[in-house]
Amino acid sequence: MPEDTSMLRTAEAGLPLSSQKGDGNTPPERRRGDFNALVWRRIKADPEFARAVLAGAARDFLEGDHVTAQLLLRDYVNATLGFEELGRRLGKSPKSLMRMLSVKGNPRADNLCAILKALQEHEGITLTVKAA
């Protein structure tokens, strides 16, 4: 069963996590950077967690939480193939892909489908939808 990514949702939404509190002297943007680095290391080291992040992003899109989904995909890309390689595979600018997967990003459906397809191929998995 995929690992719960609710901690990722909480952190990406900017809600406080005990691991983000720091010593009170660290600015919030730096704590988020530390958290992202921790997530990236975990994605790199734990293939099951990497698949859970990718599946969690797809689930978030289906549930209408596109911002969290985009940020999860951004973390996944940063920790795995990188935006340069993803851009090469899709024939898109890495900067354009980074913008698409940002908080303010608004990827078109065709771009989103292409990104998800490329990431599934990279991970060697097929995401499926199951009616609940």
Within a domain: 66: yes
Q: For residue 21, is it within any domain?
A: yes
23-81 confidence digits (pLDDT tens):
545 444 455 567 788 888 999 999 999 999 999 999 999 999 999 999 999 999 999 99
- Which domain does 81 fall in, by range? 6-123
Please answer whether residues 3 and 52 qualify as being in contact, where contact means their C-beta atoms are separated by less than 8 angstroms: yes
Residues 108-128: what's their mean pLDDT? 96
| 32 in a structural domain | yes
What is the rounded distance in angstroms from the CA atom of residue 47 to the CA atom of residue 60?
20
Tokens for 20?
């983000």
Domain count, the chain: 1
Q: Could you give the CA distance from residue 32 to residue 37 in angstroms, rounded to a whole number?
A: 9
State the burial class of residue 68 (Cβ atoms within 10 Å of its Cβ: 0-12, 13-18, 19+): buried
1 within a domain of the structure (yes/no): no
pTM (2 d.p.): 0.74
CB atoms within 10 A of CB 89: 16
What is the CA 126 to chain-centroid distance, rounded? 17
Is 130 domain-assigned?
Answer: no
